[in-house]
Amino acid sequence: MAKKHKVGIIGASGYTGYELIKILCKHQHVELVVLNSESYAGKKVSELYPDFLDEKITFTNYTIYEINKMKLDLVFLAVPHTTAMALVPKLNCKIVDLSADYRFKNPKEYEQAYKLEHKDRKTKAVYGLSELSKKNKTDIKNAKLVANPGCYATGMILSVFPIQKLANYIVFDCKSGWSGAGKSSIYAKDASVIKNNIVAYNLSKHRHKYEVAQFIKTKFSFTPHVIDTFQGMMITAHLLLKEDKKNQKNQKNQNLTQTQEKMKQKVIQIFKNHFKDCPFVEISDKIPDIHVVQKTNKLIIGGFEIDENNQMVIIAVLDNLVKGASGQAVQNMNIMLNIDEKEGLI
Ligand SMILES: NC(=O)c1ccc[n+]([C@@H]2O[C@H](COP(=O)([O-])OP(=O)(O)OC[C@H]3O[C@@H](n4cnc5c(N)ncnc54)[C@H](OP(=O)(O)O)[C@@H]3O)[C@@H](O)[C@H]2O)c1
Atom of ligand 1 nearest to the CA of 84: 45
Our answer on whether the CB atom of 99 is closer than 6 Å to any ligand 1 atom is: yes
The low-confidence residues of the chain, meaning pLDDT below 50, are: none
Q: What is the CA radius of gyration of the chain?
A: 21
HSE, CB side, 13 Å, CA atoms: give it for residue 252: 4
Ligand 1 binding pocket includes 328 (Cβ within 6 Å): no
Phi, psi of 268 (to 5 degrees): -60, -40
74, part of any domain:
yes
- Evaluate whether residue 175 is within a structural domain: yes
Is 343 within a domain?
A: no
Do residues 78 and 183 both lie within one domain? no
Task: For residue 241, give the CATH number of its domain.
Answer: 3.30.360.10
Q: Are residues 163 and 287 located together in one domain of the fold? A: yes
Tell me if 86 CB under 6 Å of ligand 1: no
Alpha-carbon gap, residue 92 to 132, rounded angstroms: 28
Nearest in space to 180 (alpha carbons), one of 109, 237, 98, 292: 98
Expressed as residue numbers, the domain containing 59 is: 5-149+325-336
Query: Which among 289, 270, 172 has a CA at the least distance from the CA of 225?
Result: 172
270 and 239 housed in the same domain = yes
- 303 falls within a domain: yes
Residue 246 is predicted with a pLDDT of 66
131 shares a domain with 109: yes
pLDDT of 9: 98
- 261 and 144, same structural domain? no
Phi (first) and psi of residue 234, to 5 degrees:
-130, 135
- Please tell me if the CB atom of residue 150 comes closer than 6 angstroms to any atom of ligand 1: yes
Q: In the chain, at which residue ranges do the beta strands (DSSP E only) sit?
A: 5-10, 30-36, 74-77, 94-97, 126-127, 145-147, 167-177, 198-200, 220-227, 233-241, 281-283, 299-306, 311-318
Active site residue 151: yes
Q: What is the CATH number of the domain that holds 329?
A: 3.40.50.720
Specify whether 23 is located in the same domain as 69: yes
The pLDDT score that the predictor gives to residue 2 is 81
Q: Are the CB atoms for 223 and 113 separated by under 8 Å?
A: no
Domain presence at residue 345: no
Q: Is residue 258 part of a domain?
A: yes
Q: Which residues pair with 95 in a beta bridge?
A: 75, 145
- For residue range 111-161, what is the model confidence (pLDDT) as tens digits? 999 999 999 999 999 999 999 999 999 999 999 999 999 999 999 999 999
- Between CA 35 and CA 59 the distance in angstroms is 5
Tell me, yes or no, whether 104 lies in a domain. Answer: yes
Query: Does any domain span residue 344?
Result: no
Number of domains in the chain: 2
Q: Cα of 11 to ligand 1 centre, how many Å?
A: 6
pLDDT for residue 249 = 60
CB-based contacts of 323, cutoff 8 Å, min separation 6: 154, 280, 293, 296, 297, 298, 299
Q: Are residues 142 and 182 in the same domain?
A: no
Mark whether 45 and 117 lie in a shared domain.
Answer: yes
With a threshold of 0.85, does the pTM exceed it?
A: yes
Identify the active-site residue in 25, 151, 174, 278.
Answer: 151
Q: Are residues 137 and 202 in the same domain?
A: no
Instruction: Based on the fold, state whether residues 102 and 190 are members of the same structural domain.
Output: no
What pLDDT does 252 receive? 62
Report long-range pairs for 194-197 (Cβ below 8 Å, ≥24 apart): 194/226, 194/227, 194/228, 195/228, 196/228, 197/228
Alpha helices in 12-142 (DSSP H): 15-26, 45-48, 64-69, 83-87, 107-114, 134-142
Q: What is the pLDDT of residue 181?
A: 97
Residues 192 and 227 in one domain: yes
Tell whether 220 and 302 lie within a shared domain.
yes
